[in-house]
Amino acid sequence: MKRFHSNDLSLAFHDVGHGEPVVLLHGFPLHSASFAGQLTAPTLTAGHRLLVPDLRGFGQSLPSRPGVGPVEMRTFAEDLLAWLDHLGLASVWLGGVSMGGYIAMAVLQLAPSRVKGLLLIDTHPDPDDDAGRARREETARNIEAQGMGFLADSMLPKLLAPTAPAEVRARLRQLILENNIAGAAAATRGMALRDDSKPVLSRFAGPALVVVGEDDALIPVEKARALASLLPHGELRVLPGAGHLPPLETPDAFNGALADFLERHATPR
């Protein structure tokens, strides 16, 4: 992996392929290797430059002074904007899974001109309500008391489609356990503070693809449909056989949907 150093953070990232830059942001509590099925796909890397970071506090992107948080979506977004400056990229195709989607929306809020097109995967634009915020704090305390095993045990059943094969379950468990307690707790507290992203999405003039796994236990298909309708140029793809994590669960179908979207909107003619 490559690295970008800025203030208190050494951001680790994959940089694979050539062409239009496409940034993919992982969900919680995963890291960049959850996009292995994209980083190794010639259908995507032949015509696009895939840029896939470990977000602050996840994978190999550990801040030098990890606090208890919160790390707000705006902070993740500021990390990414500094990284894009370093890469010399004025604008990119920006995608994120679930929490990665919240962060993509925060980038759009801070710097809309940096986003050529959006890819929102199993995510939604609403802020937490009071009960949701209380649950986040309880989760953060449980992570601190019991470690990443707590998150693996509590989240795994909700993240994958019931039909997910044993090797995908095992891989997901491993990805969660590879993360660290401080980063996961800080992001959990940060997610509790996020804004309502509906206003910024309703103003986004670029192309936008909303993807959802048909069996997502966290984001029902109807919620994804509402998100696509909110976007002036939104389109929806529902992926059969996938739950909350289509890039990991059904990589071929997900890659096909992404390649088709980019082919129609991002490929120079």
Q: How far is the CB of 99 from ligand MLT (least distance, A)?
A: 3
Contact 56, 183 (CB under 8 A): yes
Question: Phi/psi of residue 53, each to 5°?
Answer: -90, 160
Q: Which residue's CB is nearer to ligand MLT, number 187 or number 253?
A: 187
Residue from 32, 34, 61, 98 in contact with ligand MLT (CB under 6 A): 98
Q: How far is CA 80 from CA 20, 37, 159, 163, 257, in A?
A: 17, 22, 25, 35, 25
Binding mask 18-57 for ligand MLT (x = CB under 6 A): ---------xx-----------------------------
Q: How far is the CB of 265 from ligand MLT (least distance, A)?
A: 25
Binding mask 155-194 for ligand MLT (x = CB under 6 A): ------------------------------------x---
CB within 8 A of 210, min separation 6: which ones? Answer: 120, 121, 224, 225, 227, 228, 231, 234, 235, 236, 237
What's the first-to-final CA gap in the chain, in angstroms?
32
Span 203-262, contacts to ligand MLT by CB under 6 A: 218, 244
Chain contacts with ligand MLT (rule: CB under 6 A): 27-28, 98-99, 191, 218, 244
